[in-house]
Amino acid sequence: MKKVIVACGGAVATSTVAANRIKELCTNNGIDLNLVQCRVNEIESHLSGTDLICTTMRVKKTYGAIPVLTVMGFISGINEEKLEEDILGYLK
């Protein structure tokens, strides 16, 4: 099972849209997913076992070896296919 954190400023609107897209992507590609949705300032409390961090805003902070991917394209509709490829690359 892969653990993905999806974070935004308020952990409601944009992260929900991104989380739903990531869930659908993983389901369609046979990836078991443990998805955690939170605020950006709560990421550190969920790091244990995390494979990928997806945010809907730019984050300058690093979290060790865990990759951080900005997924605002799921909100704007720009480069969605590239985002999906990148996410699958990290999780497969």
Catalytic residue among 8, 26, 38, 54: 8
Taking alpha carbons only, the member of 5, 9, 3 closest to residue 57 is 9
Catalytic residue flag (residue 8): yes
Enter the DSSP assignment of 12. Answer: S
Instruction: Record the tokens describing residue 20, joined without a space.
Output: 């739903």
Q: Are 39 and 7 in contact (CB under 8 A)?
A: yes
Active site residues: 8
